[in-house]
Amino acid sequence: MKVTFKLFASLSDYLPAGTRDNRIELEVEDGVSVAELILRYRVPQRSAHLVLVNGLFIPPAERAQRRLQEGDELAVWPPIAGG
């Protein structure tokens, strides 16, 4: 199945070289979880602060159980500091 994986800010360094617009279209096996896909790209768990699937927040406790479906968009942001 096809999904879109987007990494923002400093996390974009975890995407393959040549990736454009902080996103990659992936062909993944059915039933892959949010946590599995994040781990597959070696994004540290502590850096996956804000995780959205199709614009909906996925809390850390639900990421291992939340399965991706055809056409889903998984977006991940690191912790953001500001003032």
63 with 34: CB under 8 angstroms? yes
The token pair that represents 42 in the structure block? 């070696």
What CATH class is the domain 2-77? alpha beta
pLDDT tens, 32-78?
Answer: 999 999 999 999 989 999 999 999 999 999 999 999 999 999 999 99
Q: Cα(40)–Cα(82) distance, rounded to whole angstroms? A: 29
| Rounded distance between C-alpha atoms, residue 33 and residue 61, angstroms | 12
Predicted TM-score (pTM) above 0.85: yes
- pLDDT value of position 81: 67
**71-81 per-position pLDDT tens digit:** 999 999 999 86
* Rg from Cα positions in the chain: 12
